[in-house]
Chain A
Amino acid sequence: MEFKFTPENLQKIELETKKYPVRRPAIMFALYLAQEQNGYISHEVINEIAGILELHPHDVLGVVTFYTMYHQKPIGKYHIQVCTNVSCMLRGGYEIWNQVKEKLGIDHMGVTADQKFSLEEVECMGSCGTAPMLAVNEDYFENLTKEKVEELINSLK
C-alpha cells in the first residue's frame, strides 16, 4: 500500500527538523505522525520517511524496531495498554489484565476481529501512585476497579 504524508504533516516534519542541527532526529516525530495517519508503520512509511530525512531505510527500520510504541501491524481503534509492573501488580494489575483479556477475548498484542480493540501488556507507565492503571490510546485511566474497567470498555464505541 502506497504511503505519502499529507502536506500538513510534511510541513510539521520540516518544522521538527529545525529543532536539531541535522535532519535525522526528526525520525521519531515523523514515525508518530505516520502512525497517526496510516494506523501503523509499513515498509512504505519507512521508505517515505527515509526519503524525506535523507537516510537509508535501514536507519528508520532500526528505530521502529527498537521502540515499543511504534507498531508494524495494524492495531485496533482503541489500543488498550494494561500495566502489570510491580506497583500495579501489588494493587491488582493482573486482575485488571485478566479481566480485559477475558472481556475482549484477545491476548497480548492481539486485535479483535472487528479491529475495534487491541491489547498490550505494558511495562511501568509512571502511574504507580494511582495504580492499577490502563491506557486507552493516549489517555490514562487510573485507580481502577473491576467495575470501572467494565464501564470504561463498555463506553468505547
Chain B
Amino acid sequence: MEKIVLPDIKDIHKLDVYIQNGGYTAVKKAFSQSTDDIIDQVKKSGLRGRGGAAFSAGLKWSFMPKTTNKPKYLCVNGDESEPGSFKDRQIFEYNPHQLIEGILITCYAIGAKTAYIYIRGEYHKWIKLLQKALDDAYAAGYVGEAMKEKFGTEFFCNVYIHKGAGAYICGEESALMESIEGKRGYPRVKPPFPAQNGLWGCPTTINNVETITNVPPIINKGWEWFSKIGEPKHPGTILFGVSGHVNKPGVYELPSGTLLTDIIYNYAGGVPGNKKILCVIPGGSSMPPLRGDQIEGVKMDAESLKAAGSAIGTGGVMVMDEDTDLVKVLSRISKFYHHESCGQCTPCREGTGWLDRIQQRMVAGKGSVTDLDLLVTVASQIEGNTICALGEAAAWPVRFMITRFRDYFEARVSKEVDLAVANKVHSMRHTAFPLADIKH
C-alpha cells in the first residue's frame, strides 16, 4: 500500500532528502496553472477534511471571494486536542516539508499571502521541529519573498507558526482565529463564515494539517489517481491513531474504507490477553461509541461510519476491552468536556457541569437508574443549542454510550452489581481474521 502522507522514506523530514524525492515540484507545477484549475483538481480529487467534519477541501477553497481588496489568510489547524488523536505530530516530525509545500499550493489557490499554522502549546518539541523545517525552507527560497525568484512568479506568501496555550476549544475553527488574534478562544457565531469574515474580518480558509499535507501528491500525480484510493466517496488514505487496549498502539496510514476490525486486529496487533472488545470509539472521544458487537464489517470512512451510527472524526480509534469500566470511562470523557467548555453558551457551560457531576456520583456508587435518563435528557438539551460543536462533542458520547450500553449502565448503578449482564454486548471473537481484500 502506497503511503501518501507519511511515506516510508528515511530522513524525508530533511529538506535535501525531500527535494531528492521530488519535493517542491508540485508547487512549481501548481504555479504554472490557474488558481481555478488547482481548486478544480482538488475538488475532483474528492479530498475531504481530516479534522473531523470531512468537508470537501476544494469546495471550501472555492468559497473564498475572488475579488476583494482585503488580504486573505490561510489557517492550518494543528491544535490536535481531541482525546485519541495524535496524527498531526507525526507529520510535523516526519514529513514537515510536504505540509509546507501543501500550504504554499493552498495559499496560491485561495490567494492568501499569509498562512498561520496553529499548533497546541504542549507540542513544544514538534513546534521546534516544524520551525526548523520552515527555517530551512525560507533559507532555500521556497517560502517568503524569495519565492518570486525561485519560481519566477509574482506570487509569494509567508508562513508562520502560532503557538496555542492549552485550550481544547481552539481546535474549533472560529475559536482558533480568535486565538490567533490574541484573544480568549471563544467560538464565533456563524454566519458570517470564515471565507467572508475570518481573521481580522478578512476572508480566511481553515484546513487541518493532514488535509493540507495531501495536496502536493494530488497536484503531482493528478486528481484521478487520488480519487481511486480507498472509498470513492471519501478517497485517499487516513492517518488512524489507534490507542487503548491494543498490542501495537500507534498511527497507521491506511486507505479510507479499511475495516475497523482489520485496523484493530491486524495492524494494531489485536487486544492484549486476547480479550474481547467491549467498546470502540472510532474517531476521537467526541464521536459516538460503538459496541463490540457493532464493529464487524464497519468500514472506516465518513459515509460508512455514519451508516454504522458513528462518525470518522479525526480517525482516533480508542479500543476498550471487556474488563473496562465504562462508567469510569464515560465519566472521564464528561469531565474533559466540562473542563474544556469555554463558558460562552449556557446549555454547554451548565450542561457539561451537570453531566460531570451526575457521573461522579455514579462512579462513587451512589447513582440510580433515573440518573441514566437524566443524563440523556441533559445531553439532548445541550445538542444543537450551542454556538459551536463542543455541545455535540460533549453530548454524543453520553447519549450514545448510555443508550447503546443501557444494560451495562443499569447493572452498574443498581444495587446488585452484575457485570455478567454486559457480556452479551461483547464482540463475537477474540482474534484476527486474515486481512480482507481492500480495494486500493
Binding site for B on A (CB under 8 A): 19-22, 24-29, 31-32, 53, 59, 62-63, 66-70, 84-87, 89-91, 122-131, 135, 138-140
Contacts and interface: CB of A to CB of B under 8 A. Distances in A.
Contacts of B328: 89
Contacts of B95: none
B167 A66 contact: yes
Interface in B204-241: 241
B339 A130 contact: no
Given A86-B244, A90-B245, A90-B320, A127 B167 contact: no
Interface stretch (B10-18, B121-129, B293-301): B121-129
B352 interface: no
B193 interface: no
Interface residues of B, number: 56
The 8 closest A-B pairs by CB, nearest first: A67-B165, A128-B243, A68-B166, A69-B166, A87-B243, A124-B83, A25-B182, A138-B124
Interface in B110-138: 116, 120-125
B21 interface: no
A129 B71 CA distance: 40
Interface stretch (B48-56, B156-164, B305-313, B375-383): B156-164
Given A28-B179, A126-B85, A66 B185 contact: yes
A41 to B, nearest CB: 11
Contacts of B84: 86-87, 124, 128
Given A21-B200, A90-B245, A123 B339 contact: yes
Contacts of A126: 80-81, 85-86, 88-89, 120, 122-123
Nearest to A143: B249
Interface stretch (B259-267, B329-337, B402-410): B329-337
Contact of A129 (B158, B162, B181, B251): B251
B366 interface: no
A140 B89 CA distance: 13
Given A26-B182, A63-B182, A128-B241, A87 B318 contact: yes
B314 to A, nearest CB: 11
Given A86-B285, A91-B244, A128-B243, A63 B184 contact: yes
Contacts of B168: 123
A32 B71 CA distance: 28
Task: Give the residue among A62, A127, A128 with the most B Cβ atoms within 10 A.
Answer: A128
B316 interface: yes
Contacts of A123: 81, 83, 168, 336, 339-340
Interface string B54-94: 00000000000000000100000000111111101100000
16 contacts: A25-B162, A26-B182, A28-B162, A28-B163, A28-B165, A59-B182, A66-B184, A67-B185, A69-B165, A85-B336, A86-B244, A90-B329, A122-B122, A126-B86, A128-B83, A131-B243
Contact of A32 (B158, B165, B281): B165
Contacts of B181: 22, 24-25
Contacts of A62: 183-184
Contacts of B182: 24-28, 53, 59, 63
A70 B165 contact: yes
Contact of A86 (B81, B251, B333): B333
A126 B168 CA distance: 11
Nearest to A24: B182
Contacts of A32: 121, 163, 165
B165 A68 contact: yes
Given A25-B181, A63-B184, A86-B318, A125 B122 contact: yes
Contact of A135 (B85, B122, B241): B122
B316 A128 contact: yes
A67 B163 contact: no
Task: Give the residue among A69, A123, A139 with the most B Cβ atoms within 10 A.
Answer: A123
A127 B85 CA distance: 8
Given A22-B200, A62-B183, A139-B125, A31 B165 contact: yes
Contacts of B125: 138-140
A120 to B, nearest CB: 10
A20 to B, nearest CB: 8
Contact of B166 (A67, A85, A89): A67
Contacts of B243: 87, 90-91, 128-129, 131
A129 B120 CA distance: 17
B86 A127 contact: yes
A22 B114 CA distance: 14
Contacts of A31: 165
Contacts of A25: 162, 180-182
Contacts of A69: 121-122, 165-166
Contacts of A128: 83-86, 241, 243-244, 249, 316, 318
A47 B88 CA distance: 36
B340 A21 contact: no
Nearest to B120: A126
B180 to A, nearest CB: 6
